[in-house]
Chain A
Amino acid sequence: MKVLRDTWLVFERYLTVLLRNPAWMIIGVLQPVLYLVLFAPLLKSLASTRGFPAGGAYNVFVPGLLIQLGLFGASGVGFGLIAELRAGVIERFRVTPVSRFALLLGRAMRDILTLLVQSLVLLLLSIAFGLQPTVPGVIIMLALVALIGLGMSSLAYTAALALKNEDSYAPLVFTLSLPLLLLSGVLLPLSLAPDWLQHVAQANPLSYAVTAARDLFNGHGGDPDVAKGLAVMSGIALVGVLVGARSFNRAIA
């Protein structure tokens, strides 16, 4: 099928770009690693606080880190697209019969692959620090990360195509991602938060992913929250892909 073939071609292209300059991939994983090494130990003493979820500091913290990795990793992908927009590469593709879905999906697949590799690195390191995951937990967790990657990078590409330059893209990404992050309970569980903050957080789709991720690592894999998290992220991914493919199709005036 043409869409699949084209998606593969686009994926191959951006994988090549990534492999020729893997610095971003390393920088992307460096941040969560620093959190793991320099911040997570602080939580050990907090783990006995009232309201702190059971399961130990790492089983609570690492799932959040993985979600954060997904959010930050995907939100930066727009920069590369803007560089290509400026170089005329996007117009060049739009003159060809290449599938517009493929232009988005091929890129997003590369982003997902990046996230999965980074997540595995982080997971292995976390296990060395004392994380005790289950195999099904890890697999579903990776699926969750992939969905976040698909949704977030599609939205990031949409924003990049709309804004067309780094000067407006960068502020947008940074202003949006920080509150999204804080309101998702990534760093500290929202069970520690006052009521009003918990209510606000409920409006943040990412908080469902974090809740699902923690359940997965705390042996509550069967909890309905996990399905809820997966469903919410699938919804975001679907919207992201539809909106993103439309942007690639529309005239970049």
Chain B
Amino acid sequence: MIHTRGLRRTFTTRHATVEAVKGVDLDIAEGEIFGFLGPNGAGKTTTLRMLSTLLPPTGGTATVAGADLLREPAKVRLHIGYVSQVGSSFAELTGRMELEMQGRIYGMSKAHARSRAAELLTSLEIDDAADRATKTYSGGQKRRLDVGIGLMHRPQLLFLDEPTTGLDPQSRARMWEEVRKLRRAGTTVFLTTHYLEEADALCDRVAIIDHGRIVSEGTPDELKRQVAGDVIVIGVDGAAAQVLQLLQAQSFVREANLEDGSLRLCVDRGETAMPQILRLFDNAGIELGSLSLHRPSLDDVFLQQTGRSLRDAA
């Protein structure tokens, strides 16, 4: 659905040149939810604006929805929807007007645009606000309308630039649900986010971008596994040293330490290590106090790749 090679963009202002995107290679498959995770100024919006024909790249090539971005931007536009970071509706018009206008631009008849708008208003649960000026909308309503505008013509590919920034947890959960619905309908989604939980919960694949470069890419699980595998913490009542020795001898344990009376194990895959540990303890007749599995977060991935915490960077 999207293939880019060496995509780059340099901004030249009076005072400086900013290399916003420094050569990005992406391959996004049809039907995928792809996430771009990165701190402020990483180059997420710049990349999205290039891929949606808004901004000419300084270098590199890209095909988007089957068309060459540089040679056939008009063709690209037919198949994509773009929900910008700042929004897309005009304060003085109603949500319904905005949706209908959008549909008409894509060549829908009046009647068709009207029914499609009504359908989206219902599925996005903004029926109640449909005929009010958008300046009266709540943040969540406005964001859902933005998504609706992007979806009006049923694009194959939807770009969502920070769809949930500034939303409360409840609105965020609803937005996630909308995105999952899109996947079920076969739409490819390329979204950006600052939120680790969001990339983790929503995306099939994630690319971590920092200072205009992709520093890591894969499924959320793959990325987390890159860090150090999983961590298992075991509480034992007595004989901790003896248990430690036993565990260190096991091949599935990469590393084992005794910390504050608990044993901390690093393993490649927590879900296979847990039953092995249980069996081991059972055979040796050792009493188990507690057992817990800790997965590294995408934050750990970011930290490892960039040396900074995403929360600090953002």
Contact = CB atoms under 8 A, between A and B. Distances in A.
A253 to B, nearest CB: 6
Interface residues of B, number: 31
Contacts, number: 70
A134 interface: no
Contact of A84 (B56, B90, B101): B90
Nearest to A251: B55
Interface in B15-59: 49, 52-56
A55 to B, nearest CB: 43
Contact of B106 (A83, A97, A253): A97
Contact of B54 (A13, A84, A87, A95): A95
A92 interface: yes
Nearest to A84: B90
A222 interface: no
Nearest to A91: B84
- Chain A interface residue count: which class? 20 to 34
B106 A87 contact: no
Contacts of B87: 87-88
A94 interface: yes
Contacts of A13: 93, 97, 101
Contacts of B97: 13, 16
Given A16-B97, A96-B105, A253-B55, A89 B90 contact: yes
B91 A87 contact: yes
Contacts of A47: none
Interface stretch (B75-83, B218-226, B238-246): B75-83
Interface string B87-100: 11111110001000
Given A97-B74, A97-B106, A98-B105, A91 B54 contact: yes
Contacts of B133: 20
A251 B191 CA distance: 22
A16 B93 contact: yes
B90 A17 contact: yes
Contact of A88 (B81, B86, B102): B86
A188 B133 CA distance: 44
Interface in A69-92: 83-84, 86-89, 91-92
B90 A87 contact: yes
A45 interface: no
A70 B81 CA distance: 38
A17 B89 contact: no
Interface of A: 6, 9, 13, 16-17, 20-21, 83-84, 86-89, 91-98, 251-253
23 contacts: A13-B93, A13-B101, A16-B93, A17-B92, A83-B90, A87-B86, A87-B87, A88-B88, A89-B90, A91-B54, A92-B84, A92-B149, A94-B53, A94-B54, A95-B54, A95-B77, A95-B81, A96-B106, A97-B78, A98-B105, A251-B54, A251-B56, A253-B11
The 7 closest A-B CB pairs, nearest first, are: A92-B88, A88-B86, A95-B82, A88-B84, A88-B88, A88-B87, A98-B105
